[in-house]
Structure 1
Amino acid sequence: MKRTTTFAIALITSLTIVACGSSTTSSPDTDPGDTAVTTDPTTTVAPTTIPDAATMAALYTEAGPYPVGVTSLELAAGNKVEVWYPAIEGTTGTDIYDMRDFIPEAISALLTADVPAVYEYPAGRDAGAATGTFPVVLFSHGASGIRFQSTFLTSHLASWGIIVASPDHWSRDLFHTLSAPVGDRNSSVTELLETLDLVTAENVRPGSRLEGMVDAERVVAMGHSAGGGTILGAALDDRIDGYISLASGALGMGGDSSAAPALPNKPSFFIAGALDGIISAEEATRPSFEAVPGPSRLWIIDGVGHNGFDDFCTFGNGSGIIGVAIASGLGPLLESLGGLKRLGEDGCL
């Protein structure tokens, strides 16, 4: 998939740099090729040549060397946390999630069994973990999102040797958006940091699937849309080495422009879609990049809208989850929910 390749080269390169505790130099806006070509500091003699962007991209076109495992954990408050991780050799299988499981029952009951609401991807549910220790990415979903929302990306990162942990944020996830939100802007930051506490505890718990594989010294926070506000708050924690903002910027933790947290002085990477009609790349993302005190990168991708960073546009043969909902007779409900329809279809066909 083209977008997997595009994001993987940028994210894996930046994660390698940020999670290893090294730094990059501040730079003006670059194209994807320039952004991806970054020298990783090393204790040995540096190579005389740096692979060009096309060569590096080819390395990450396919899934990485690890099969992918996925498991579900739970925070003390009850929030589910999905974790993708490098699995043992020979792991196979297909994992799925069904959007009907993330909406109130009264709405789900209106959908027929044949509604295309299922997303499939290669991963072994509760598979054994690969040997070794691996860096951690904490993923924060956007408004009306779910912890699975960017599985195309989170599972791909796991195949390249990264543990990705993604909690449901009850203050803004899809279920609670359609019912009654629980918590406030600050609670999403707490949930993300508690997710780090959780995987760190699983690392030392005998019999845990994550036992002995979590490198808690290499941690990056990554957030989409409103999640971009959450990671700014989380990255103020000393355990977070850097952060990656997707279709976001210096937003309030709830996804608006108020009460934006301080921009952390840590390595960062801001990525946005040039066609984003929800959070403007030029009015929100670029100013955040320019204001960040630490080393940073900016990449504005042509032809990409707000949902180019999640799975949602792939449902219904490209019509997206909003198209599926409308085809199922939920158009009037969507219209009654203010900007939810616009949010869910931005960047889809």
Structure 2
Amino acid sequence: MSSRVTAALLAALVTAGLVGCSTDAAPTARPAVPAEPPKVATPSPRVPAGSAPERAFAVGVRELKLNRDGDRPLPVTVWYPAAGKAGGEPERSADAAKGKFPVVMFSHGLGGRPADYDTLLTRWAAAGFVVAAPTFPRTSRGGDGNVLDVLNQPADVSYALTQVLALDGRSGDPLRGRLATDRVAAAGHSAGGVTTIGLFTTGRDERLDAGVVFAGTALGVGTAFAGAAAPQLFVHGQADEVVDYAAGRAAYDKVPWPKAMLSLPKGDHGRALLGDGPALRVVSDTTVEFLRWSLYGDEAAKRRIPTDAARDDIATLDNRL
């Protein structure tokens, strides 16, 4: 994602907030919401205690062809734990591994596609998660670039989640009986981070148990976090040239639930998410342990989060989990 188009997103969302009464009929956007978080929140996560898989899995990948309301095509890439030897590249349409695996919905950034994040999402799948990533109709690479359509994307993710969870009961589907449908998280980068925050605020999806926000901001979706407690992990580079670190921190500060913020002092807008390297290893290991805790209820994983975050002095962790 270029900084130019991402900056356009921020400018457009700011404009939307300032001229919300415009009669321009471009995308449908939800109205602004108060910045104050709800006064009452469930005090602890609702996922019961358990243990995450200790072994790594091979990874399979497949595509779902979805369309919301007949005019919003939403192809979804799904990475999942697969049978066979761990390691190597994801195998197209591989047999699923035995077990019940939590689901993570991932939202790409403006001008991006799910495949851009293959390294990170493959690691999540290898750790025991089914990762489903829609390609959004207007903000993906090749779309018309209508940045305000980001405000419609939380509903896209909720729709795609419904379709993904339905695979668990679909006769003949490779993922039949393989999804822990009661353990679900949302994650996203940049514009996908806006989308993810929206799933816990204006477009609260009560099926979500946790969130991971990479280089995100609450512009356009607000910080009125609602519903049952859903732990949040924010990841943000302090040298982010597109979404100012302070904007991400401001959204994080409004989260009323268990939360942590992984800050990378030398981190930019997120290029480390798009390829392998020391920063990605710290980010991927920390996010894996967070998901193991928040979706499997694995307390040992929670205790490992600070150690993973501190590796090689690449990042610092504000830990309020």
Q: Taking CA–CA contacts closer than 8 Å with sequence separation of 6 or more, which of the two structures ends up with the larger relative contact order?
A: 2
* Correspondence for 2:83 among 85, 88, 102: 88
Using the size of structure 1 for normalisation, the TM-score is 0.59
Deviations 1:299-327 (A, max 9, x none): 1112221133532799xxxxxxxxxxxxx
Residue 210 to residue 275, structure 1, CA distance change in 2 (3 Å): same
**TM-superposed deviation, 1:274:** 1.7
Letter in 1 for 2:94: A
**TM-superposed deviation, 1:76:** 2.5
Matched residue, 2:168: 203
**TM-superposed deviation, 1:22:** 5.8
Aligned equivalents of 1:313 and 1:123: distance in 2?
Answer: 16
Deviations 1:56-90 (A, max 9, x none): xxx99xxx520000000021243210000000124
Matched residue, 1:269: 233
**TM-superposed deviation, 1:182:** 9.5
Q: Which ranges of structure 1 fall in alignment gaps of 5 or more residues?
A: 1-20, 25-39, 45-58, 94-121, 253-258, 315-349
Aligned equivalents of 1:310 and 1:213: distance in 2?
Answer: 28
Matched, 1:300 2:291: no
| Residues 1-349 of structure 1 aligned to structure 2 (within 5 Å) | 23=45, 42=49, 65-77=56-68, 78-90=73-85, 122-176=89-143, 179=144, 181=146, 184-235=149-200, 236-252=204-220, 259-260=221-222, 262-264=224-226, 265-281=229-245, 283-311=246-274
Deviations 1:116-172 (A, max 9, x none): xxxxxx111000000110011100111111122211110000001000000011131
Aligned equivalents of 2:170 and 2:108: distance in 1?
Answer: 27
**TM-superposed deviation, 1:233:** 2.0
Letter in 1 for 2:242: I
Letter in 2 for 1:244: V
Deviations 1:274-302 (A, max 9, x none): 22110111x21111111111121111112
Letter in 1 for 2:190: S
Residue 262 to residue 171, structure 1, CA distance change in 2 (3 Å): farther
1:306 is paired with a residue of what secondary structure? coil
Aligned sequence identity (%)? 32
Residue 311 to residue 241, structure 1, CA distance change in 2 (3 Å): same
Flag the structure with larger Rg. Answer: 1
Q: Which ranges of structure 2 fall in alignment gaps of 5 or more residues?
A: 1-42, 278-321
Residue 194 to residue 271, structure 1, CA distance change in 2 (3 Å): same
* 8 A contact 2:67–2:75 mirrored in 1: no
Residue 22 to residue 71, structure 1, CA distance change in 2 (3 Å): farther
* 8 A contact 1:137–1:219 mirrored in 2: yes
Alignment length (residue pairs): 225
- The more displaced of 227-236 and 135-144 is 227-236
Q: CA RMSD in A?
A: 2.9
* 8 A contact 1:71–1:125 mirrored in 2: yes
Where in structure 1 do 4 or more consecutive aligned residues deviate above 6 Å?
Answer: none
Residue 163 to residue 22, structure 1, CA distance change in 2 (3 Å): farther
- The more displaced of 260-269 and 67-76 is 260-269
Aligned equivalents of 1:91 and 1:152: distance in 2?
Answer: 14
1:138 is paired with a residue of what secondary structure? strand
* 8 A contact 1:75–1:194 mirrored in 2: no
Aligned equivalents of 1:250 and 1:192: distance in 2?
Answer: 17
* 8 A contact 2:119–2:276 mirrored in 1: no
* 8 A contact 1:143–1:173 mirrored in 2: yes
Aligned equivalents of 1:191 and 1:165: distance in 2?
Answer: 12
Residue 238 to residue 133, structure 1, CA distance change in 2 (3 Å): same
Residue 304 to residue 133, structure 1, CA distance change in 2 (3 Å): same
Aligned equivalents of 1:43 and 1:154: distance in 2?
Answer: 23
Using the size of structure 2 for normalisation, the TM-score is 0.63
Residue 170 to residue 84, structure 1, CA distance change in 2 (3 Å): same
